[in-house]
Structure 1
Amino acid sequence: MDNRNPSDGTPGTRNPWRRLLALPNESRAKTVIVAFLVSAICAALVSGATVMLRPIQAANRAAEEQARIAALVRGIPGMAGLLEQSGGTLSTVVIDLASGRAADAVPPAALETALADPGNWTVLEPEQDIAGLGQRPDFVQIYLLRDEVGRVSLALLPLSGQGYGGRIDAILALEADLNTVAGIAVTRHSETPGLGGRIDEAAWQAGFAGTALRDPAGAVRFRVASGPAAGDYEVDGITGATRTGRGVTRMVRFWLGPEGYGPLLDAMARGEF
């Protein structure tokens, strides 16, 4: 049987790839098909590389997170020495604030995505909102330092609240008794330079170490004094920055209360965490 192309007499073929290559380079169909095939091959290669590299990327992210946590701890006045003395291991965990337990369904890598959902935020009633937040996230990432036998020796708790000039963000470090301040680091603020802005000075932050937070009955007693500290629950105020000090007081009290880390601290005190 003669398998020639009846239009030009050349040998025909049933191979679609050869038929495609036989088309003129100016052919629109050939251009579209080749472009599609190249895109599909590139997409497959990229997808394959992503799958193969994912474990390496996850390991790198974990290492970067661990280094960031260690740097954060060492940035808190007095924490570098404590970290070296403990010989423990820093870890990070996402907490469900309502239950005070680990949010197993929200790993640290997924926290940002979870908090992009408005449904994962709780609107605060005015009587609850002493920190001036309006709403607070349902999930928060905290950092724990554990000793060789797994006991928590240091808990790092992110805080946020409203100061005089705007939002204040900080990390509060608690000792193993969960009632004594090991240190604090103010990580962001908009307070007045030279006045409330002094809350980011290491000398002022160092005054938090050793301050008690709750009285024996469990009531949060911490406060920034209007002047020099006068008791176990107070830290020195900053001259001319009464409203900033009040904002820090309310921020700490809110986050140690029932709408903040209260359930977590209670669970840890019972040895359930």
Structure 2
Amino acid sequence: MAARDWNPLRRVLALPNESRTKTVMVAFLVSALCAALVSGATVVLRPIQTANRAAEEQARIAALVDDIPGMADLLQESGGTLSTVVVNLENGRAAQDVTPANLEATLADPGNWTTLGAGQDIAGLGRRPDYAQIYLLRDGDSVSLVLLPLSGQGYGGRIDAILALREDMNTIAGVAITGHSETPGLGGRIEERAWQAAFPGTELRDDSGETRFRVAQGPASGMHEVDGITGATRTGRAVTQMVRFWLGPEGYGPLLDAIARGEF
């Protein structure tokens, strides 16, 4: 009599192919092997994925900088590198559980948006996200430059922009209009770099802290104004209201106050 094979794997494989036990066991073994391979690949690839996300983020920041007239030269002079952080707009602090990687998923939840009242909604948004991704340049422990995404309702549709502020959080370092639907040749001229180049040096608030920034209806007449665009009064007003909203208490106001106090 042949000796009994005590190896369980060989005993299973020796069963007829139509055996239910063999089918179930082989399927289980294949599944376990695949799970082990997937888990191993996840561990091996995680550092690569992290590095790729970091590279993508730096490329995004570089693209933003390129869109803002004079910003690349400003960063080169400072010798610094922009970093990114997600802020909670309610308290002006860095978000605890929301990162650039999961921000989009977070904002897909309607519960992470705030409905704006008629007196608050000067930018015509209807509602405001509770979290926003911003870009910072630090000089030691202090913030020397901040880039803030803005949005508002223009004459032809939504306007998107990036506003850069210097370390006093009151002086504009630059602006870039990143998206709009304004009338070509009129309000659409807000995308021209020549118009955007007039923003650096403009101050948002006066000595009393009152917000004075505006796009003038004609040539700028003071340190708080930028030149208007002929025939585009509504677009200029929309840009004014967009900046005022986002720099106010319902937008980045709490964040700017925290930065000015050296608490961010």
Please give the TM-score of this superposition, normalised by the length of structure 1: 0.89
Residue 262 (structure 1) aligns with: 253
C-alpha displacement of 1:20: 2.8
Counterparts of 1:143-158 in structure 2, within 5 Å, are: 143-147=135-139, 149-158=140-149
Say if 2:166 is the partner of 1:175.
Answer: yes
Residue 138 (structure 1) aligns with: 130
Residue 85 (structure 2) aligns with: 93
Counterparts of 1:19-168 in structure 2, within 5 Å, are: 19-25=11-17, 30-31=22-23, 33-147=25-139, 149-168=140-159
Per-residue Cα deviation, 1:140-164 (whole angstroms, up to 9, x for no partner): 11101123x2432211001011111
Which secondary structure does the structure 1 equivalent of 2:96 belong to?
coil
Counterparts of 1:218-233 in structure 2, within 5 Å, are: 218-233=209-224
- Residues 28 and 193 of structure 1: is their aligned pair in 2 closer, same or farther, counting only changes over 3 Å? farther
Per-residue Cα deviation, 1:48-86 (whole angstroms, up to 9, x for no partner): 211232123213312331232133213210111101101
Report which stretch shifted further, 50-59 or 258-267: 50-59
C-alpha displacement of 1:14: 5.4
- Residues 17 and 248 of structure 1: is their aligned pair in 2 closer, same or farther, counting only changes over 3 Å? same
Residue 271 (structure 1) aligns with: 262
Per-residue Cα deviation, 1:213-268 (whole angstroms, up to 9, x for no partner): 11111111111112221221111111222211111111100000000011111111
Residue 238 (structure 1) aligns with: 229
2:142–2:262: 8 Å Cα contact kept in structure 1? no
Aligned AA (2:148): L
C-alpha displacement of 1:12: 5.8
Which secondary structure does the structure 2 equivalent of 1:186 belong to?
strand
Question: What is the distance in 2 between the residues matched to 1:265 and 1:78?
Answer: 22
In the TM superposition, structure 1's runs of 4+ consecutive aligned residues that sit over 6 Å from their partners are none
Question: What is the distance in 2 between the residues matched to 1:47 and 1:190?
Answer: 47
Structure 2: state its 5+ residue gaps.
none
Which secondary structure does the structure 2 equivalent of 1:144 belong to?
strand
Per-residue Cα deviation, 1:123-150 (whole angstroms, up to 9, x for no partner): 1111101111111111111101123x24
Structure 1: state its 5+ residue gaps.
5-10
Question: What is the distance in 1 between the residues matched to 2:186 and 2:239?
Answer: 14
Which secondary structure does the structure 2 equivalent of 1:93 belong to?
strand
Question: What is the distance in 2 between the residues matched to 1:64 and 1:194?
Answer: 34
Question: What is the distance in 2 between the residues matched to 1:122 and 1:60?
Answer: 33
CA-based RMSD of the aligned residues comes to 2.0
Aligned AA (2:170): N
Question: What is the distance in 2 between the residues matched to 1:166 and 1:29?
Answer: 65
Please give the TM-score of this superposition, normalised by the length of structure 2: 0.92
| Structure with bigger gyration radius | 1
Which secondary structure does the structure 1 equivalent of 2:102 belong to?
helix
